[in-house]
Amino acid sequence: MGYRHPQSIAAVRGIKAEGGWGVVCTEETEIHHSSDLSPYTEGRLWDERDLPALQKTTEAVHAHGALAGIELAYNGHHASNLYSRVPALSVRALGDAYNPWQARRMDKDDIRNVRRWHRQAALLARQAGFDIIYCYAGHDLSLAMHFLLPRYNNRTDEYGGSLTNRVRFLRELIEDTKDAVGDTCAVAVRLAVDELLGPEGLTHDGEGREIVSLLAELPDLWDVNVSSWENDSVTSRFAKEGYQEAYISFVKTLTSKPVVGVGRYTSPESMVSAIRRGVMDFIGAARPSIADPFLPQKIREGRVEDIRECIGCNICVTGDFLSVPIRCTQNPTMGEEWRRGWHPERINPAKSKEPILIIGGGPAGLECARALGQRGYPVTLTEARRNLGGRVALESLLPGLSEWRRVIDWRLTQIDKLPNVALYPSSPMQAEDILNVGFSRVIVATGAHWRADGVSRSRWQSLPGRDLLPIFTPDDLMAGRLPQGRVLIFDDDHYYFGGVLAELLVEQGCQVSLATPAPLVSYWTKNNLEQRRIQKRLVQLGVPVYLNHTLDEINPQGTQIRDTITGVDETFPCDAVVLVTERITNDTLYDALKPALAEGLLTHLGLIGDAQAPHLIVQAVFSGHLAARELDEPPVDGITPFRREISALCNDQ
């Protein structure tokens, strides 16, 4: 959201403050146009014109008695400056990742200028009402961190060489900020104390420890983590709750100042344990506060079972990479606080007592039933299978995805408290059954199923030779129908399924290979910080990967795969094929009920979740929640289903 959506982001942070979080911080906030982070939409504090937007956040946070913190950021060679089009400044002339340009090496004047810009941003932040001002070295994206790291800093002046010299720039930023704001604001330092690169990077038992020791009493608060972002915000598939403790626990032994740390703490027991064991003084939480903004209040009120625990899928992170407003699989109101006026704990009461029938107990159906039940509607939900949960119940049994079960468990816990919601598993229903039971309001949430014909994003025709080898889909594998021997997984879905199913089959003793038309394994997971870990896991499991390859046909020798770059075909011997391609909506029941709506036998017929359009779990939950919120309610503004933040023209030159 950042600077483009000031009302939306203020509402997000105001909700967190209302939920009991003691301090609510911004994202990285640019302090100058020479550190322009476009295309990513972060915070912005270039000059006084940015104050009104940021003041909305501080006012929203202060309205509920919380403190507001701002993370002032200057990102050196990681700043693209694609909007400002000025040269980036860095500790030395460096290029960033795969971008074909470089930053300019900072001279002494540049260093003085950045210090001046940071000081001015601190003063503006105080003017905007912030209580805590950060000097940021929390990732290898920040200039302060670049000065600390020998692989970036090869300077021979007083800012390079010895660790004392390399710490100088960060020390000066802290001292400048404290001098600027005096005792009117706290000055915090966010520092990554380990990069998980071994001797090639900063380590918690090496220079990371020494940096804290050198600056121990200078800031008012230490906020410590690990770098880079994909290590700091690991998904639950690859790291569990509190995984950063081994790296950050030394900090409290070196300073008398309070320490805050992170690690996707979702349970009160783990939080209390970390405090009592002396790992930190305060629990820092981004993802858990997104999944449940009211987590602190629920702890305070003894309602631990009501906490909507983060599942660690990192869908929230994808919004940053895709430059779109934040989403959350567990919390469908995240990002909709201002836009649609949604509150995570409150919902408009029912406008009638007319009963509603929901067909399908997957994530969409369960969320719809829960939210309608919370509104006060009488709800009956039927599910054809014995177990509720739909796709989530099955996917959470796959390697590394057990925490995804929380999507079901939290909703079942809440539904169990609602006497007006009845659940009927093992109850398949046809259109005739539905009309016979007398419900006039029906919502269909019957999900989708994986294709077995080979049609996918990269091919529009059915796969020739499908009868020559056993063909399996993710549905087959999740139902326990597994191939044997040499297996080729064709992944044209590009999210987690290809890699997870490869891991499952290796565990079952299969010889697995994976082909994908994409240039990377699980290509879309670049957006949730998983891609490199998935590829590493496949290498560790001995799974050969064929990138830029599509599946052309099955023949008596196995399969024929084609290099999409060169057009060269290759025969690939195998005993079975797993197709991870596209899904088909299970919407036949909805279509069968449409005539009843036209004839007046039904007054409402809805279609939600994957039955409406196959998508991510986050969208299924949102779809169910949206249907529950909109029932009997008028549109927000009569034009679009949500409010928009529209730029206003002014006379400013």
Q: What is the 3-state secondary structure (H, E, C) of 234-267?
A: CCCCCCCCCCCHHHHCCHHHCCCCCEEECCCCCC
Please determine, for residue 648, whether its predicted confidence score (pLDDT) is greater than 90: no
How far apart are the C-alpha atoms of 524 and 556, rounded to whole Å? 33
Please determine, for residue 451, whether its predicted confidence score (pLDDT) is greater than 80: yes
Q: pLDDT at position 42, please?
A: 94
The tens digit of pLDDT for each residue in 597-647 reads: 999 999 999 999 999 999 999 999 999 999 999 999 987 666 778 899 988
Q: What are phi and psi of 497, to 5 degrees?
A: -60, -45
The tens digit of pLDDT for each residue in 249-282 reads: 999 999 999 999 999 999 999 999 999 999 999 9
Q: What is the pLDDT averaged over residues 476-499?
A: 97
What DSSP element (H or E) covers 563? strand 558-563
**Residue 348 CB contacts under 8 Å (≥ 6 apart), including other chains:** 375, 629, 633
The tens digit of pLDDT for each residue in 497-542 reads: 999 999 999 999 999 999 999 999 999 999 999 999 999 999 999 9
Q: pLDDT at position 649, please?
A: 78
The tens digit of pLDDT for each residue in 437-447 reads: 989 999 999 99
Instruction: Name all contacts of 56-59 with Cβ < 8 Å and 24+ positions apart.
Output: 56/6, 56/7, 56/10, 57/6, 57/9, 57/10, 57/13, 57/14, 57/26, 58/128, 58/129, 58/130, 59/10, 59/129
**Best CA proximity match to 125, nearest among 194, 36, 47:** 47
Tokens found for residue 217: 């009493």
Q: What are phi and psi of 367, to 5 degrees?
A: -65, -40
- Helix/strand/coil for 459: strand
Q: Give the chain's largest Cα–Cα span.
A: 84
Which domains does the chain carry? 2-322 (3.20.20.70), 356-447+587-630 (3.40.50.720), 461-584 (3.50.50.60)
* pLDDT band (50, 70, 90) for residue 469: very high
Q: Taken in order 70, 73, 79, 81, is the CA torsion positive or negative? A: positive
Beta strand ranges found along 234-352 (DSSP E) = 259-261, 282-283
Write the single-letter amino acid at 132: I
- Would you tell me how many other CB atoms lie within 10 Å of the CB of residue 460? 7
Q: Which of 13-22, 139-148, 636-645 shows the lowest mean pLDDT across its residues?
A: 636-645
The tens digit of pLDDT for each residue in 190-207 reads: 999 999 999 999 999 999
State the DSSP string of 460-522: SSPPTTTTSS-EE-HHHHHTT----SEEEEEE-S-SSHHHHHHHHHHHTT-EEEEE-SSSSTT
Instruction: Give the dihedral of Cα atoms 400, 622, 17, 52; nearest 10 deg.
Output: 120
Q: What are phi and psi of 102, to 5 degrees?
A: -135, 160
Please determine, for residue 651, whether its predicted confidence score (pLDDT) is greater than 80: no
Its pTM stands at 0.96
- Would you tell me how many other CB atoms lie within 10 Å of the CB of residue 521? 25
Q: What is the pLDDT averaged over residues 174-181?
A: 98
Could you tell me how many residues make up the chain?
Answer: 653
